[in-house]
Amino acid sequence: MSLNPVPVVSVIVPVGTRQTATAELYAEYASGLKGLRAPHEFIFVLDGPQPRCESVLAQLAARGEPITVVSLTRSFGEATAVMIGFDQALGSVILTLPAHLQVEGSELPKLVAVLEEADIAVGCREPRASNWFQTFRRRAFHGLLRSVTGLSFRDLGCTARAMRRKVL
């Protein structure tokens, strides 16, 4: 008999070479998920060797936190790390979140709530800390996308996303 319920929400965090405060990041996201009142799991995909991060995550898992760690032998890129996370995820709701502190955990229930009316929700970072060129490039891309699709987007570069499993 399993002591842990089957997760309803799977959180995938692809961890690249950029240094991250892993314990603080986990605490921030986990506190936000409490507002969902649903069983959840975290899947950290380490994109290349990261012994310090792996050690912190192993300590959290040993304390009983719902964490799975997948360590890749070399860097394959964020897209590959997310796909591997999808393969590991058990939940009917999948969240992809960045491995650096840019998303407030308290906002996660709002992102998931959008799934009552949609199959996927993409977060938007506000305010954005960008220079003028990055702002111009982002607005040009979103404008081109709007002219082709008729849909309006504000921050497709944000990796905070929620989706129903059927989208995968």
- We report the CATH number of the domain holding residue 65 as 3.90.550.10
Q: Is residue 149 part of a domain?
A: no
Tell me 48's DSSP state.
S
113-159 pLDDT tens trace: 999 999 988 887 666 666 788 778 877 887 888 888 887 776 566 67
Q: Is residue 31 part of a domain?
A: yes
CB atoms under 10 Å from CB of 19, counted, come to: 12
Distance (Å, whole) CA 73 – CA 84: 13
Q: Is residue 20 part of a domain?
A: yes
Looking at the chain, list the stretches that DSSP marks H as alpha helix, in order from N- to C-terminal side: 22-33, 51-62, 78-88, 108-113, 132-149
Q: Is residue 100 part of a domain?
A: yes
Give the chain's largest Cα–Cα span: 57
Q: Is residue 113 part of a domain?
A: yes
The dihedral through the CA atoms of 4, 91, 23, 81 has a sign that is: positive
- Count of domains observed in the chain: 1
Residue with tokens 């799934």: 115
**Can you name the residues that pair with 9 across neighbouring β-strands?**
40, 93
Distance (Å, whole) CA 91 – CA 60: 20
Q: Is residue 114 part of a domain?
A: yes
Full residue range of the structural domain in which residue 161 is found: 9-124+157-167
The pLDDT of 46-61, averaged and rounded, is 94
- Which of 11-15, 54-58, 149-153 is least confident? 149-153
Which pLDDT score is estimated for 149? Answer: 84
Q: Is residue 117 part of a domain?
A: yes
CB atoms under 10 Å from CB of 32, counted, come to: 22
Distance (Å, whole) CA 120 – CA 105: 18
8 Å CB contact between 154 and 142: yes
Distance (Å, whole) CA 94 – CA 89: 7
* pLDDT(1) > 50: no
